[in-house]
Amino acid sequence: MTTTLPPNIQMVDLKNQYLRFKEEIDREVMDVLASTAYINGPKVQQFQADLEEYLQVKHVIPCANGTDALQIALMALGLEPGDEVIVPAFTYVATAEVIALLQLKPVMVDVDPATFNVTAELIEQAITRRTKAVVPVHLFGQSCDMEPIMEVARRHGIYVVEDNAQAIGADYTFADGHIQKTGTIGDIGCTSFYPSKNLGAYGDGGAVYTNSEELAVICKSVANHGQSAQRYYHDLVGVNSRLDAIQAAILGVKLRHLDVFAEARRRAAAFYDQAFAGISELTRPARQSNSTHVFHQYTLLVNNGQRDALQAHLQEKKVPCMIYYPVPLYEQKAYRSATVRGRGGLPVTESLCNSVISLPMHTELDEESLAYICEVVRSFFQK
Ligand SMILES: *Cc1c(COP(=O)(O)O)cnc(C)c1O
């Protein structure tokens, strides 16, 4: 071992990132306090415009969190109870939760074993006459292969709502060479500003985005009590979901650094990749040629059935790690009656839940910490 005492390593380091931008962020927050524009107001409008510019999307509708963003998007599509919405079974629960909450029917499908993302082929196999939408999740920071997914969706006349909570800033390249940000390719994109996300607030936050004028108007109305263009006239049953002005001010500062943050994450990922190259029991994260990776998570596959033992070893050596996700959605108590659709079950999801492990990943990882983490992982396989 190069270090005798383990450095203080965290899964996500919010504190040191804050300290780097403290002056600017404190000033922005104090501005909001002094202005008393606590709801909507100039900071929210400015952040909305900045995010539209960054994503190159026509409309951003800020809201209270990423789960609300998904709910608002699905409410805007005018679906009927019982309509089927396809989701990957290997994702965070929020993706399926909003579907169930709206009395729609989540149909869970498998994912690709290399990218952990849902594919056009898996989606198409699950489409029936009742299917109205699909929610591809850009898991761990890499885009789903969106071009064939859009082709299948258009051919079957179903909506595409992208769950971009983990991949904000990632670029997807189409066959003709043009590039779009994840979340701006489908009908509606949804993102989360939960503190540990790649663009994290200091509390909750989220956004819906779309290039459709029509869907933007409806999403905006749904997020604001279903109010029409005329104040106190309500055309829809909506929700109350707003991005806090203080959070918008903080996000405005951090958005300017989002690409630099992604670069820091990629550097950490490259360090891990190199350190684990010779360990045959580990599969490193796959890189797709048509998507950049913003590494919301750095997730390894442990191929020898020793995942839980590796987890215990890391914990013992004070290296934090997480299992995203330990249980397929359809095995969660609340979702046991959900429909699962795939040839021979969902074997990839089953196997991923037993073999994935995510290592510390954030913008403040220094070489000493990375070297320590890698040494601890390596020592497990050299026993
Ligand atoms: C974080 C996350 C959400 C939910 O976002 P919140 O802001 O926590 O509501 C939804 N989907 C995925 C894939 C996420 O990672």
Q: Are residues 43 and 169 in the same domain?
A: yes
Q: Are residues 287 and 150 in the same domain?
A: no
- pLDDT value, residue 278: 92
Q: How far apart are CA 131 and CA 123, in angstroms?
A: 10
Domain that holds residue 234: 17-255
State the distance from the centre of ligand 1 to the C-alpha of 70, rounded, in angstroms: 9
- Residue 338 near residue 95 (C-beta atoms within 8 A): no
State the distance from the centre of ligand 1 to the C-alpha of 232, rounded, in angstroms: 31
Determine the atom of ligand 1 nearest the C-alpha atom of 137.
13
Q: Is 2 inside a domain boundary?
A: no
State the distance from the centre of ligand 1 to the C-alpha of 158, rounded, in angstroms: 23
- pLDDT value, residue 86: 98
Q: Are residues 280 and 246 in the same domain?
A: no
Q: Which of 65, 67, 204 to mutate to test the pocket of ligand 1 (most atoms within 8 A of CB)?
A: 67
Q: Are residues 140 and 278 in the same domain?
A: no
Determine the atom of ligand 1 nearest the C-alpha atom of 166.
15
Q: Are residues 209 and 329 in the same domain?
A: no
Look up the CATH number of the domain holding residue 283: 3.90.1150.10
Give pLDDT tens digits for 288-345. 999 999 999 999 999 999 999 999 999 999 999 999 999 999 999 999 999 999 888 8
Look up the CATH number of the domain holding residue 241: 3.40.640.10
- Put simply, whether the predicted model's pTM sits higher than 0.85 gets the answer yes
- pLDDT value, residue 79: 97
Q: Is 262 inside a domain boundary?
A: yes
Please list, in sequence order, all residues whose beta carbon lies within 8 angstroms of the beta carbon of residue 250, skipping any fewer than 6 positions away: 25, 28, 29, 201, 202
- pLDDT value, residue 121: 97
Q: Are residues 280 and 225 in the same domain?
A: no
Number of Cβ within 10 Å of residue 59's Cβ equals 18
Q: How far apart are CA 143 and CA 173, in angstroms?
A: 10
- pLDDT value, residue 383: 67
Determine the atom of ligand 1 nearest the C-alpha atom of 205.
7
Q: Is 12 inside a domain boundary?
A: no
Give pLDDT tens digits for 135-168. 999 999 999 999 999 999 999 999 999 999 999 9
Beta strands in 127-211 (DSSP E): 131-134, 159-163, 171-173, 179-181, 188-192, 206-210
Q: Are residues 144 and 166 in the same domain?
A: yes
Determine the atom of ligand 1 nearest the C-alpha atom of 139.
13
Helices (H) and strands (E) in the chain, counts: 12, 13
Q: Are residues 250 and 263 in the same domain?
A: no
**Which of the residues in the chain have pLDDT under 50?**
none
Per the structure, the count of domains in the chain is: 2
Q: Is 361 inside a domain boundary?
A: yes
State the distance from the centre of ligand 1 to the C-alpha of 206, rounded, in angstroms: 9
Q: Are residues 198 and 250 in the same domain?
A: yes
Residue nearest to atom 5 of ligand 1 (CA): 66
Q: Are residues 251 and 264 in the same domain?
A: no
- Find the residues whose C-beta lies inside 6 A of ligand 1: 65-67, 91-92, 94-95, 137, 163, 165-166, 192, 194, 204, 206
